[in-house]
Structure 1
Amino acid sequence: MMKLEAIVARFPDLEVAELTAWVELGWVRPAREAADWQFDGVDQARVGLIYDLRRRLGVQEDTVPMVLSLLDQVYALRATLKAVGAAIDRQPAEVRDAVRAALTEADAP
Structure 2
Amino acid sequence: MNNSITVYGIKNCDTVKKALKFLAGHSISYQFIDYRERPISEKQYEDFKDAVGIEELVNRRSTTYRSLSEKEKQSIDFELISKYPTLIKRPVLIKNDKVVVGFNEKKYLNFLL
- Structure-1-length-normalised TM-score: 0.26
Q: Which structure has the larger Rg over C-alpha atoms? A: 1
More helix per residue: 1 or 2? 1
More strand per residue: 1 or 2? 2
- Structure-2-length-normalised TM-score: 0.26
